Amino acid sequence: MQQHPNYGHSPPLHHPVPQHVSTVPQLRSPPLPSSSQPQSGAYGNPYQQGTPANAPNAPNAPNVFGAYGNFMNDPMAAQFVGQVGQNAFKHVEQNVNRWVNFSALKHYFNVSNKYVVNKLFLVLFPWRHKPWSRRQTVGPNGQEGWFLPPRDDINSPDMYIPVMALVTYILLSTLIAGLRGQFQPELLGYTASTAGVVVILEILLLKLGCYFLSISNESQLLDLVAYSGYKFVGIIVTVTIAELMNGGKGTGGWIGWSVFLYAFLANSLFLMRSLRYVLLPESAGGNAHVPMQTDTRTKRNQRTQFLFAYSYLIQFLFMWILSRA
């Protein structure tokens, strides 16, 4: 008989034995430092509780800034720096005072709550107001013809109302645009730029007219800046009423035009009456604060015409632009 091979017994398996045995190091925590253990490394021992020897605040630490690190610790150096700062501040203040008289500017912000309310009422309802002349008193140095501050004279120009009206106009314009769903971040800067350009152009036109008509006044520039800002009161009233009455359609329509014309006429009459002592100084009647001039009838007529053109024509153009900006 043919015998089948026996598969029950297999040859033994031999596993390879490594020739080079590698030893895996055991990870251990570093020992706690002792007071006698020396410091090593640039940053010291991480377990050290005290301040490293080379820390910036250490008593004997080297100065990272070199020889200039202890400059401010020198009393003479600190005094020198203080004197230089004071001299620089005085120099800047003197140069700024050449263009802006801060002592005179404080006069225009000397207002009270009663004055603000009465002034706003005067700007919007100037029809029956009398008198329009400004009140005077004796100055601090004994000089005559010193104008009273706004809180004591309703006819005195101020800058509090114009500045607040300008800011309110900018915020109101952006608020209305937001209610219409048309607000954009650039709108705030655009509205402020438009209002600023209008005010600057108005001041330049006034100064140019005063130059050609030989009108001089010590406080003329600040007065003109103050009076140029009162138009924003009428513009705010126009924009607010027109927006409420027209159902969000702007200052168009007969309601918007009616409110605009009223605000324009009130502002024009207010400027005509108030600017007489600035643009017509010969009518001051012996005022020592406003220089007196002996003018011919022709020059007086020219000044009157310029005052009318500024109060009506120029104001209509600028108020129309701002109410639709």
> What string of DSSP letters covers 16-44?
---SSPPPPPPP-PPPPP-TTSPP-SSS-
For the chain, what's the residue count? Answer: 325
Q: Provide Rg for the chain, Cα atoms.
A: 40
Write a three-state SS string for 196-251: HHHHHHHHHHHHHHHHHCCCCCCCHHHHHHHHHCCHHHHHHHHHHHHHHHCCCCCC
- Cα 237 to the center of its chain, rounded Å: 24
CA angle 7, 10, 15 (to 5 degrees): 155
Say how many C-beta atoms besides its own lie within 10 A of residue 298's C-beta.
8
How far are the Cα atoms of 38, 52, 55, 117, 123 from residue 60, in angstroms, in the given order? Answer: 17, 10, 9, 68, 72
- Start-to-end CA span in the chain (Å): 119
Cα(242)–Cα(45) distance, integer angstroms: 75
Considering only CA atoms, which of 162, 291, 295 is closest in space to residue 223?
Answer: 162
| Token reading at 185 | 């971040």
Q: What sign does the dihedral 239-226-154-150 (CA atoms) show?
A: positive
3-state secondary structure 66-112: HHHCCCCCCHHHHHHHHHHHHHHHHHHHHHHHHHCCHHHHHHHCCCC
| C-beta of residue 192 within 8 angstroms of C-beta of residue 170 | yes
Strands 136-137 and 146-147, bridge-based pairing: antiparallel
User: Which pLDDT score, from 0 to 100, does residue 97 have?
Assistant: 59
Give the whole-angstrom CA distance, residue 8 versus residue 99: 115
Q: Measuring CA to CA, which residue among 46, 19, 52, 9 is closest to residue 31?
A: 46
How many CA atoms, within 13 angstroms, populate the side-chain half-sphere of residue 13? Answer: 2
d(CA 103, CA 37): 70
Q: CA angle, 314 as apex, 312 and 316 as ends, to 5°? A: 65
Tens-digit pLDDT profile for the chain (325 aa)?
445 555 555 666 666 666 655 565 565 656 665 554 444 444 444 444 544 545 445 455 555 445 555 555 667 766 766 777 776 666 666 655 566 666 778 889 999 999 999 999 999 999 999 889 888 887 666 666 678 889 999 999 999 999 999 999 999 999 998 888 888 888 889 999 999 999 999 999 988 888 888 877 655 788 889 999 999 999 999 999 988 887 666 677 788 889 999 999 999 999 999 988 777 765 444 444 444 444 578 888 888 899 999 999 999 999 999 988 6
Distance of CA 192 to the CA centre of its chain: 11
Residue with token string 């490594």: 18
Q: Which of 220, 216, 219 is nearest to 293 (CA)?
A: 216
pLDDT reported for residue 40: 45
